[in-house]
């Protein structure tokens, strides 16, 4: 597409649509070259405090391979984009946002760790709520758990196992509520429970993505088998997205051979499109590619 249509103008001027090559809808990727200065979103992303690593100035515009699509930022629950939605390669590994295997969703603020790194996620107490949402407190999703009730001690220093500490471990052990399942589970990547405890290939036990040692997050893809860096945890099987054989999962970027079709080898929920593998399209803007499936993030 070589016409003068700007993406930004295209949104504003209905007349432009007719001149553009096909429909250009807000929230869809447009081919490189069509956007021109429409990288307003990317520019917006630059203003955001980055996560644990220093963002490079590489953008989807300049850093992509030939034929790369224009990146459109993804929001976490309506807020400004975090590192995994800002269209920048924040850890300079050549992969941006959902294409980076370290990114587990739009509410993930580092491209180099499994630790989520968003405000409120490690709020100084031992309570846990939905790990994959915007972390505005336990009230918004009604997902409740407490690290002190887990005998595997995901946080041995700050929250050692102590079922008599005054927290109600009976309550913590109740099945997840319908509200928790409705609000949190759709955002949970394959292999994880709602609280950030995940079964990952290569790890002997389920591991706590938010593991910190001496106040520093430590769990990443390289340390999955190290129980000090990625602490063991007990899965909450009442709010759990199991990693099925033909699914893409945390730590499993490809389904095994003989799954699905050549266009879509991975398994996704009904009506969800596959994403992230060669030849597959990007998700629309209100969706995020979570473990190989376009997942609705804005309702
Ligand atoms: Ca990014
Ligand atoms: Ca990256
Ligand atoms: Ca990365
Ligand atoms: Ca699953």
Give pLDDT tens digits for 166-219: 767 887 788 999 999 998 999 999 999 999 999 999 999 999 999 999 989 999
Residue where a domain terminates, one of 223, 240, 269: 223
* Ligand 3 midpoint to CA 53 (Å): 10
Rounded Cα gap, residues 195 and 147, in angstroms:
10
If asked whether residues 133 and 218 sit together in one domain, one would say yes
* Ligand 1 midpoint to CA 168 (Å): 39
* Ligand 2 midpoint to CA 56 (Å): 9
* Ligand 3 midpoint to CA 282 (Å): 18
The strand pair at 197-198 and 207-208 is best described as antiparallel
Q: Which residue has the higher pLDDT, 160 or 66?
A: 160
If asked whether residues 211 and 287 sit together in one domain, one would say no
The per-residue pLDDT for 18 is 37
The per-residue pLDDT for 104 is 97
User: Confidence class of residue 55 from pLDDT cuts 50, 70 and 90?
Assistant: low
Rounded Cα gap, residues 132 and 183, in angstroms:
10
* Residue bearing tokens 């490809």: 254
User: Confidence class of residue 34 from pLDDT cuts 50, 70 and 90?
Assistant: very low
Does some domain include residue 264?
yes
* Ligand 1 midpoint to CA 175 (Å): 35
Does some domain include residue 153?
yes
Does some domain include residue 93?
no
- The whole-model pTM stands at 0.77
If asked whether residues 208 and 278 sit together in one domain, one would say no
Counting the structural domains of the chain, the total is 2
* Ligand 2 midpoint to CA 227 (Å): 25
* Ligand 2 midpoint to CA 186 (Å): 24
* Ligand 1 midpoint to CA 202 (Å): 26
If asked whether residues 186 and 138 sit together in one domain, one would say yes
If asked whether residues 199 and 267 sit together in one domain, one would say no
The per-residue pLDDT for 279 is 95
Ligand nearest to the CA of 83: 1
Does some domain include residue 152?
yes
Per the document, the length of the chain is 299
The per-residue pLDDT for 173 is 81
* Residue from 51, 48, 24, 50 nearest 38 by CA: 24
Residue 80 has φ and ψ, to the nearest 5°, of -65, 150
The kind and range of the H/E element at 294 are strand 293-296
**For residue 290, what are the contacts with CB-CB under 8 A and spacing of at least 6?**
98, 104, 105, 187, 189
Residue where a domain terminates, one of 223, 246, 280: 223
Does some domain include residue 86?
no
Ligand nearest to the CA of 88: 1
The CA-CA-CA angle for residues 233, 148, 126, to 5°, reads: 95
* Residue from 196, 192, 151 nearest 169 by CA: 151
Alpha helices by DSSP H, listed for the chain, are 7-12, 14-19, 40-46, 60-63, 138-141, 169-172, 178-183
Q: Which residues surround ligand 2, an ion (CB under 5 A)?
A: 89, 91, 93, 95, 100, 111
* Ligand 4 midpoint to CA 247 (Å): 7
* Residue from 208, 67, 48 nearest 128 by CA: 208
Q: What is the span of the domain harbouring residue 281?
A: 258-299
**For residue 90, what are the contacts with CB-CB under 8 A and spacing of at least 6?**
50, 51, 53, 54, 55, 56, 83, 110, 111, 112
* Ligand 3 midpoint to CA 178 (Å): 34
Rounded Cα gap, residues 234 and 202, in angstroms:
17
Helix (H, G, I), strand (E, B) or coil at 128: strand
If asked whether residues 161 and 218 sit together in one domain, one would say yes
Does some domain include residue 242?
no
Is residue 62 scored above 50 in pLDDT?
no
If asked whether residues 166 and 216 sit together in one domain, one would say yes
Give pLDDT tens digits for 98-140: 999 999 999 999 999 999 998 876 545 788 889 998 875 556 6
If asked whether residues 271 and 207 sit together in one domain, one would say no
The tally of CA atoms less than 13 A away on the side-chain side of residue 58 is 14
* Ligand 4 midpoint to CA 188 (Å): 9
Ligand nearest to the CA of 240: 4
What DSSP character marks residue 22? S
* Ligand 2 midpoint to CA 93 (Å): 5
Q: Which residue has the higher pLDDT, 157 or 50?
A: 157
The two structure tokens encoding residue 194: 């709602």
Residue where a domain terminates, one of 223, 250, 269: 223
Give pLDDT tens digits for 65-94: 444 568 999 999 888 999 999 999 999 999
Q: Which residues surround ligand 3, an ion (CB under 5 A)?
A: 91, 93, 100, 102, 111-112
Give pLDDT tens digits for 228-273: 999 999 999 999 999 999 999 999 999 999 999 999 999 999 989 9
Does some domain include residue 228?
no
Does some domain include residue 61?
no
């Amino acid at each position: 597409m070589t016409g003068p249509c700007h993406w930004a103008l295209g949104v504003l001027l209905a007349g432009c649509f007719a001149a553009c090559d096909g429909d250009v809808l807000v929230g869809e990727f447009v081919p490189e070259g069509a956007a021109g200065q429409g990288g307003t979103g990317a520019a917006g992303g630059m203003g955001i405090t980055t996560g644990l690593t220093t963002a490079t100035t590489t953008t989807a515009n300049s850093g992509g391979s030939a034929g790369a699509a224009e990146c459109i930022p993804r929001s976490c629950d309506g807020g400004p984009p975090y590192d995994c939605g800002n269209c920048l390669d924040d850890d300079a590994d050549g992969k941006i946002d959902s294409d980076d295997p370290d990114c587990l969703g739009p509410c993930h603020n580092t491209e180099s760790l499994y630790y989520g790194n968003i405000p409120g996620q490690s709020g100084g107490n031992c309570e846990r709520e939905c790990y994959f949402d915007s972390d505005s407190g336990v009230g918004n999703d009604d997902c409740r758990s407490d690290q002190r009730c887990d005998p595997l001690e995901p946080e041995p220093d700050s929250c050692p196992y102590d079922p008599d500490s005054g927290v109600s471990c009976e309550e913590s052990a109740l099945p997840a509520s319908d509200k928790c399942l409705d609000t949190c589970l759709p955002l949970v990547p394959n292999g994880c429970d709602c609280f950030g405890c995940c079964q990952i290939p290569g790890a002997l036990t389920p591991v706590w993505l938010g593991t910190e040692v001496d106040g520093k997050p430590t769990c990443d893809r390289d340390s999955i088998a190290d129980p000090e860096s990625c602490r063991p945890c007990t899965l909450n099987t009442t709010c759990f997205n199991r990693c099925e054989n033909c699914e893409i999962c945390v730590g499993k970027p490809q389904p095994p051979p003989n799954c699905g079709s050549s266009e879509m080898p991975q398994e996704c929920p009904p009506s969800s499109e596959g994403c992230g593998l060669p030849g597959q399209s990007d998700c629309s803007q209100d969706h995020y590619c979570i473990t190989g499936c376009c997942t609705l993030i804005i309702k």
